[in-house]
Chain A
């Protein structure tokens, strides 16, 4: 039976070792919004020997490019974007101490190996549930590259953000295992 976890960032390795593919988790605390362009910029910063705009130790990156906030709201709709586009950048960030990612969709072999080898985790948020997810987001603060618009790197305060563990640190991939009982072709 899948377990339910309440997690507060930053995550410790002990927190991560308790998670199993298929478990539900509610995440609270600061998470970092970044997608394609911000990952490219982060990689360029590391190549140039500059620090990242945030300390990745134990933190989670959420792959999201929100819609604009209406007046009085911290953020617009904010569901996950496809994680696979960030595969090329992810192993390096995990080696630097990043605890994991929240997104949707399958990851490359290299990312899955890096998740296992560095004791990390990959969560899925529900793609398409963007208005619902935005209700868990208390604040959205751009940290770097505001010219990227919805692709800027931002810190988000979240409360009980619902996610599913897709890849745990033991090498299990829910996208592979989850469909097996229902596959009849």
Chain B
């Protein structure tokens, strides 16, 4: 068994929180530059210029790209041969989030209960933690802070098998059309197909947190990603929703096994600040 201390987990999560919120991934920045080169609308090009300049300021001054530094979504892959020492894994992740969001001057946007008092927890905990046990003696931590402007515009569509590929395309298109300018386009769109209700949503979230330069390894789904992107960009929503030819940088699709009677489709939208940071311990 390889030992990994909760202190290392806590400090790594804290570092990833600041890194993800203040430094746009190079691939997302490259996608912005590509969009700037091909956007047809002059207003859209102005918006993209602002976003590129904004990413530059955020990185140089180590300040958040967006004031909504989100709920902290953590994907953790824990090797079965790891022994976590000194405390509990989830406590360490939450301590890391509290530390990163406090010391890094990130906004605390988590309320402890959704309906009555909605009291802010004050340190952006609890994180949303998705843990998988995997082979090996490493821990991979991927932090994808997610703002509410885009998160609020996601949707789950419980289709049936007869709806097929056309049904999936219609569900994605209608969700993005309805989202309009609110999720801060150009966006990255995560689509989860299959599973059941909760698994489709988790697939969509994973797709959303995937890099813009990644492709689904299955060529059929990679082709679907391209077709969906082309369709979405024909909506004309454009940068900041002010009209234009680039509504999304990328559509990422994840799929999984499903029931013989089901075709769940979840759409999780990410904003132009498609942020994530990863570390392997």
Contacts and interface: CB of A to CB of B under 8 A. Distances in A.
Contact of B152 (A37, A82, A184): A82
A130 B234 contact: no
Interface of B is mostly: loop
Interface in A92-135: 104-106, 124, 126-132, 134-135
Interface stretch (A12-20, A49-57, A71-79, A138-146): A71-79
Contact of B243 (A65, A174, A184): A174
A123 to B, nearest CB: 12
A111 to B, nearest CB: 14
A4 B47 CA distance: 15
Contacts of A184: 234, 236
B237 A77 contact: no
Interface residues of A, number: 46
Interface residues of B, number: 48
Given A67-B69, A127-B149, A175-B180, A183 B235 contact: yes
Contacts of B15: none
B63 A70 contact: yes
Contact of A185 (B69, B173, B182): B173
B50 A132 contact: yes
B54 interface: yes
Interface of A is mostly: loop
Contacts of B237: 179
A81 B182 CA distance: 8
Interface string A155-185: 0000000101010000000110111111111
A107 to B, nearest CB: 10
A176 to B, nearest CB: 9
Contact of A164 (B43, B149, B245): B43
B57 A132 contact: yes
Contact of A66 (B43, B67, B245, B271): B67
B242 A182 contact: no
Interface of B: 40-41, 43, 47, 50-51, 53-54, 57-58, 61, 63-69, 105-109, 118, 120, 148-149, 152, 173, 180-182, 184, 231, 234-238, 240-245, 271-273
- Counting from the closest, the 8 A-B pairs by CB-CB distance are A178-B243, A183-B236, A127-B184, A105-B182, A179-B236, A182-B236, A185-B234, A67-B107
